[in-house]
A = this chain, B = another copy of it.
C-alpha cells in the first residue's frame, strides 16, 4: 500500500525533513561565476562612483545662477573650462560660471547641477547662454549613489545573473566566492536498459533517464554523478545506492519499474535510513519515493522518462534548492486551452503542451501522449498543472503554463 501524498504535502515534507547543508565553497573569477550560487554576502569597500558624476553632456553650474532664465532671457555664464573624462578636475566654479562636462565626467567643485547642452547656447566669446533653469542635483549621480562602503551589494544564496556580475564588477569583486555545485548521484535501474550508445537487443530499450536527468541537473547548476545502469538485483542496488549516498549530496534512483525492483527500492531506502513517502497523487509520477540515508535525500523516480522528468521538475529541483538554501523562481504564463482536456479527479495532472502566440494572446495545445514517449515531451514548449479537484478543463479555459523545459 503506497503512503500517497498530495503534491503540496510532498513539498512540505521536503521543507521540513531537509535543511540547507553547509557545502564547500570555491573562489572563481568573475567570468566563470554566471549561474553559480554566491557563498557569502558581498559588501562594498568603497564608494561607487567615487565622485559626483554627470549623467548628460552639458554644463556644470550653480542652479541659483540660472533661476528664472528662459529661451527669451538666457542666464549668461562665464565658461571657465572643460572636464576631461577619467580625470579628476581641479576646476572650481566661482559664482556666475560654468564648465563643460561630458556624460560620466566629474563635476567641478562649486557646481550643484548639470544643464543639458541642448538647453544652452555657446556665444563663442567665452560665455554660455543657459536657456532652462537648473535645480540642485539635476542630471547628477552623487558620490556613493550606487554603493557606499559597508553596503551589502549581493546576498549569499543568489544565483548569479548577468546584472549581478555587473554589480560585482562595479565593486571590484573579481574573485567570487561560490558554493561548490551539489553532487547528485544518478542511478538507472532495470534489466531492460542499455546505454544510449548501444543498439538495444530484443526486449531492450536505451536508458533515456540518465542523460536527461543529468542534463536537468546541469541546467539547475548541480553536478550529476552517474553510477551506471544497475541490473534488477537487490543486493547490488543496495550496495551502489549506499555508496552513492555516502559520496553525494543527493541520490536519484530512476527506473526500477518492474514490481520487484519497485519494492526493492523502498526496502533499500528503508534499510539505509527512512522512507518519507512512497507515492504522490499526481499523474504521471505516482510511484515516486522520497527517503533519506542520514541527511542525504534519496529519490526513487518513475522509470517512464516523461514521468521521471516531471517529478524531477516538481520535486527534485525544489529539494536541491532546499539543500542549497536558494529560492527557485518559476512563474507560469496564462494561456487559453485549445481543446477540452480530461483529468483524473483526485490526482493532480501534469500535461505537456505547445504554446503559440497570436495577437499577443497565448494558446496552449495539450500534447496527448502515452506516458513514457519522450519524443513527444521533446516537442513541448511547456507544461500545465491541473488541480486534483478538477475533473477536466473545457476548450477556451485559462490555464497556467510553465514554459521553461
Contacts and interface: CB of A to CB of B under 8 A. Distances in A.
A151 to B, nearest CB: 8
Nearest to A216: B162
Contact of A378 (B105, B154, B201): B154
Nearest to A47: B200
Contacts of A196: 30, 168-170, 172, 174
A96 interface: no
Given A104-B205, A203-B105, A166 B373 contact: no
A141 interface: yes
Given A145-B370, A203-B89, A170 B104 contact: no
A161 B377 CA distance: 10
A104 B190 contact: yes
Contacts of A51: 202-203
Contacts of A375: 48, 146-147, 153, 167, 170
A238 interface: no
Contact of A215 (B34, B171, B193): B34
Given A104-B192, A146-B374, A331-B403, A165 B211 contact: yes
A168 B214 CA distance: 14
Contact of A206 (B87, B169, B205, B376): B169
A106 B191 CA distance: 12
Q: Chain A: interface secondary structure?
A: loop
A218 interface: yes
Nearest to A100: B259
A129 interface: no
A290 interface: no
A403 B329 contact: yes
A265 B42 CA distance: 36
The residue in A83, A105, A166 that gathers the most chain B C-beta atoms within 10 A of its C-beta is A166
A87 B191 CA distance: 8
A257 B259 CA distance: 68
A362 B331 contact: yes
A204 interface: yes
B163 A405 contact: yes
A88 interface: yes
Contacts of A190: 85-86, 104
Interface in A128-164: 141, 145-147, 153-154, 161-164
A214 B55 CA distance: 24
A141 B372 contact: yes
Interface in A186-214: 190-193, 196-214
A86 B192 contact: yes
Interface in A348-374: 355, 362, 370-374
A303 B86 contact: no
A112 interface: no
A170 B106 contact: no
A209 to B, nearest CB: 7
A246 interface: no
Contacts of A193: 86
Given A141-B372, A206-B172, A332-B333, A219 B34 contact: yes
Contacts of A303: 103-104
A405 B34 CA distance: 12
A163 B334 CA distance: 23
